[in-house]
């Protein structure tokens, strides 16, 4: 069975500082990996995805993520955060031919001025 | 293209009642998945419909059911509501055909059971 771990429940960073959100997955084959962001009371917006190929993936809003098979990780990064990045971030894993996504528990990001 | 739409956005019901939620996928998408989001359990997969057939199912009791229509719109129904059913119900759509699809989510329906 596939699973996702986001070890950080809550992270606080200063505006303009760099950000890294951690995600570790467990899956027997090559996973499909996603990062979604959720603002309060809203649905999930896709930030980026990894299916295959280049292990460094670029997404929207200046985010990127790196797939590391040896570490079973797919960490999300941003070089300089903006106050509007405050939200909850979810890492998810999917499988080929199966629409079901398994989500991590999320990391809530707070930005301080 | 218009995004995924869900109606209603907010719903208040009492225990024992039943409820129906609706989801309209992105035009051209044939797969609709439903997820339940709660503070305690996080995001959990309920089921997925493709071409009017349930293709995947999560680990939820039979009180949770769904269906999909020929235009790909989907409904989910929860019967005999319990307090623990209070949650944000999210619908996601994808093409459902490539085997490596991206799911796009709607804004959700907030269900409160009193």
Cβ pair A49:B102 closer than 8 A? yes
What are B63-113's pLDDT values in tens digits?
999 999 999 999 999 999 999 999 999 999 998 776 678 899 999 999 999
Q: How many A×B Cβ pairs under 8 Å?
A: 58
Q: Does position B6 have pLDDT exceeding 90, yes or no?
A: yes
Distance in angstroms (rounded) separating the CA atoms of residues A2 and B26: 27
What are B29-62's pLDDT values in tens digits?
999 999 999 998 999 999 999 999 999 899 999 9
Which chain B residues contact residue A105 at CB under 8 A?
42
Closest residue in chain A to residue B50, using alpha carbons only: A99
- B62 three-class SS: coil
């Amino acid at each position: 069975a596939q699973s996702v771990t986001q070890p950080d429940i809550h992270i606080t960073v200063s505006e303009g500082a760099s950000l890294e959100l951690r995600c570790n997955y467990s899956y027997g084959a090559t996973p499909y990996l996603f990062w979604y962001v959720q603002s309060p009371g809203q649905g999930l917006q896709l930030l980026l995805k990894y299916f295959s190929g280049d292990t460094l993936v670029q997404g929207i809003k200046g985010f990127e993520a790196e797939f590391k098979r040896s570490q079973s990780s797919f960490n999300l990064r941003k070089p300089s955060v903006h106050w509007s990045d405050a939200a909850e971030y979810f890492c998810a894993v999917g499988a080929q031919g199966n629409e079901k996504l398994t989500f991590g528990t999320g990391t809530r990001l707070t930005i301080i001025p | 293209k218009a995004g995924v739409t869900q109606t209603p956005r907010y719903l208040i019901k009492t225990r024992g009642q039943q409820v129906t939620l609706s989801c309209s996928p992105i035009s051209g998408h044939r797969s609709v998945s439903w997820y339940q989001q709660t503070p305690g359990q996080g995001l959990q997969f309920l089921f997925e419909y493709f071409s009017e057939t349930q293709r995947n199912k999560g680990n939820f009791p039979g009180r949770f059911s769904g269906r999909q229509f020929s235009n790909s719109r989907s409904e989910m129904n929860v019967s005999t509501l319990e307090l623990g059913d209070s949650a944000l119900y999210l619908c996601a759509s994808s093409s459902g055909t490539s085997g490596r699809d991206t799911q796009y989510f709607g804004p959700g329906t907030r269900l409160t059971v009193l």
